[in-house]
Structure formats: structure tokens, C-alpha cells
């Protein structure tokens, strides 16, 4: 099929009505120029929902340690509230968005993640966190894209016996970009790309520099998961991979179309 651009939106970019509206417009506009598959996170809204019911939050290298109670909140916030609102915002802007989760046919088959070897040396059982399997390209996404729809995917995965798992949104986007052999993976967040220790945007990152950034702690928390996802996407056959500032919608539309933009970190092999 015609190659797609996979766009990952960090939860911060869609956490209130104003931002949802802006992102809805940006995605509808990007989708007029070419095929787009959207994956979104929802970290801060999940944190807020957990706090409301008094469940403590625990994250390691940006990965959420997920017990059964946490999983229920993750699924209801991500696949319920955020996904539906984003789909509605894109459609209100004239797009043709369809909401999915990784539990939909073949979208994100996962298995329980192996204990995580953290950057601080600890080994941590992440609980109900899923690792995407190296499955074939998801049929339903190809079908939707071909028909002009924009699949919008909440980062929940399912195992082969039907159990749900929490999957980091960057991890899922990286895996999908690989399986779809995407022409581009654009990971949009609320920072001006990847920052060095002087808080300047790094223009280009290769494997060696990524290793140094993570080892030195200059890249930490959610950024660790993002960089791993970028490398997985490249390894799996995605063509271009970038981490961009998603707060300026116009710039985001350009990034999805493959045009050069400021505040962007290109990740290469």
C-alpha cells in the first residue's frame, strides 16, 4: 500500500479542549496531504485520574508500572475519554477519523513485557505492561487508510488470550511504524525536540549519541522510551524518524508532510 506517516501525539498536546481543537485541525489538514495514522498517549490525564482515586503512580524510564487497578484507569482514560475526544475533534475539523485500540483485530498484539532493566541499574517487573509483538502489518489500518480514514489508536494492547495490557504510546507508535514500513514516524511532544544539557534542540541523533545521552541522564524519563521507540522504528524499516515540538500546529502539519521544521530532532541509524 501507499506508505503512511505515523504521528504520535503526547498526552499534553490534547489535554484540554483548546489543544484538542488545534490538534484536530492539524491532523485533518495533514490527512489532506497524505495518509496518516495517529497514536496518542495520555500520561498526565492518567496521572490525574489515578490521583483522584488515591492510586500511587510509579514510572521507570517513562514506563508505567501497571497493576490491575491502574490498568482499568489507563483503559478508561485512554481508550474511553481521550481517544473519543480526539476522534471527534478531527472529525469536527473535516477529517475522517476512526478510533481504535491495540485490541482491535491485529492492531497491537502484545505479550507481557519482560522485567525492565532500568537506566539506574534496577530490574523492574512492570506488571500489566505489554511489549508489541513483531506481527504482520495490520490489515484493518491498511483498509481504513485506503478508504481515506485516519485511524486514531489508543495505546492499549491485547495478548493472544484476550488480556489487556498498557503499552507506552511511543513504544506502540514505533512498533506500528515498523510494521507498516511507514515513510515517516513523527513523535510530537511538548518540548522543542530532544534537548542537550544546555537545553538546546539536538538536530540529529544517531545510535552512539543516544547511548551517551541516556547514560549521562541528559535524556531521562519519557524521553528514554521515545528514543528506544525511534530506534525500533528505524530497525524495522520506517524511513524517517523525528521527535518534534507539537505545540505549534502549523509546524506539526509540515513535519507530518516531511517538510523541514524548526525545533525538530531527526533520529538516524
Ligand X SMILES: Nc1ncnc2c1ncn2[C@@H]1O[C@H](COP(=O)(O)OP(=O)(O)OP(=O)(O)O)[C@@H](O)[C@H]1O
Binding site for ligand X (CB under 6 A): 10-12, 41-43, 62, 169-170, 189-191, 194-195, 218-223
Minimum distance from residue 220 beta carbon to ligand X (Å): 5
7 close to 256: Cβ distance less than 8 angstroms: yes
The residue (of 32 and 215) whose beta carbon lies closer to ligand X is 215
Residue carrying the nine cell digits 495514522: 37
Residue carrying the nine cell digits 498526552: 11
Minimum distance from residue 244 beta carbon to ligand X (Å): 11
Report, in angstroms and rounded to the nearest whole number, the Rg of the chain calculated over CA atoms.
17
Residues 126-185 that bind Mg ion (CB under 5 A): none
Q: Find the residue with minimal CB distance to Mg ion.
A: 222
Q: What is the crossing angle of helices 249-257 and 17-33, to 10°? A: 30
CA-to-CA distance for 184 and 130, rounded, in angstroms? 24
The residue (of 192 and 222) whose beta carbon lies closer to Mg ion is 222
Residues 75-104 that bind Mg ion (CB under 5 A): none
Minimum distance from residue 251 beta carbon to ligand X (Å): 16
Antiparallel, parallel or unpaired: β 110-112 and 97-102: unpaired
Closest by alpha carbon to 43, among 87, 18, 9?
A: 9
One of 222, 236, 246, 249 touching Mg ion (CB under 5 A) = 222
Helices (H), 34-82: 43-52, 68-75
The residue (of 11 and 102) whose beta carbon lies closer to ligand X is 11
Minimum distance from residue 67 beta carbon to ligand X (Å): 18
Minimum distance from residue 136 beta carbon to ligand X (Å): 25
* Residue 247 parent element (H or E): none
The residue (of 81 and 218) whose beta carbon lies closer to ligand X is 218
Amino acid at each position: 500500500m501507499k506508505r503512511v506517516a505515523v504521528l504520535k501525539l503526547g498526552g499534553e498536546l490534547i489535554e484540554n479542549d483548546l489543544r484538542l481543537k488545534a490538534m484536530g485541525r492539524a491532523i485533518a489538514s495533514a490527512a489532506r496531504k497524505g495518509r496518516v495514522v495517529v497514536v496518542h498517549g495520555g500520561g498526565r490525564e492518567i496521572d490525574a485520574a489515578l490521583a483522584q482515586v488515591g492510586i500511587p503512580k510509579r514510572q521507570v524510564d517513562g514506563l508505567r508500572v501497571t497493576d490491575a487497578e491502574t490498568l482499568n484507569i489507563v483503559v478508561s482514560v485512554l481508550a474511553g475519554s481521550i481517544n473519543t475526544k480526539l476522534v471527534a475533534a478531527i472529525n469536527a475539523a473535516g477529517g475522517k477519523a476512526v478510533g481504535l485500540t491495540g485490541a482491535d483485530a491485529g492492531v497491537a498484539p502484545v505479550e507481557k513485557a519482560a522485567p525492565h532493566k532500568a537506566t539506574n541499574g534496577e530490574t523492574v517487573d512492570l506488571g500489566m505492561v505489554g511489549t508489541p509483538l513483531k506481527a504482520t502489518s495490520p490489515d484493518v489500518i491498511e483498509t481504513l487508510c485506503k478508504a481515506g480514514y485516519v485511524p486514531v489508536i489508543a495505546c492499549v494492547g491485547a495478548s493472544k488470550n484476550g488480556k489487556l495490557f498498557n503499552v507506552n504510546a511511543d513504544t506502540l507508535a514505533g512498533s506500528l511504524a515498523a510494521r507498516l514500513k511507514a515513510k515517516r514516524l513523527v513523535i510530537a511532544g511538548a518540548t522543542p525536540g530532544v534537548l542537550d544539557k544546555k537545553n538546546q534542540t539536538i538536530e540529529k541523533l544517531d545510535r552512539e549519541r543516544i547511548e551517551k545521552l541516556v547514560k549521562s541522564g541528559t535524556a531521562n524519563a519519557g524521553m528514554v522510551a521515545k528514543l528506544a521507540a525511534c530506534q525500533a522504528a528505524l530497525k524495522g524499516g520506517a524511513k524517517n524518524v523525528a521527535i518534534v515540538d507539537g505545540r505549534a500546529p502549523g509546524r506539526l502539519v509540515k513535519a507530518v508532510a516531511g517538510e523541514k521544521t524548526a525545533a525538530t530532532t531527526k533520529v538516524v541509524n
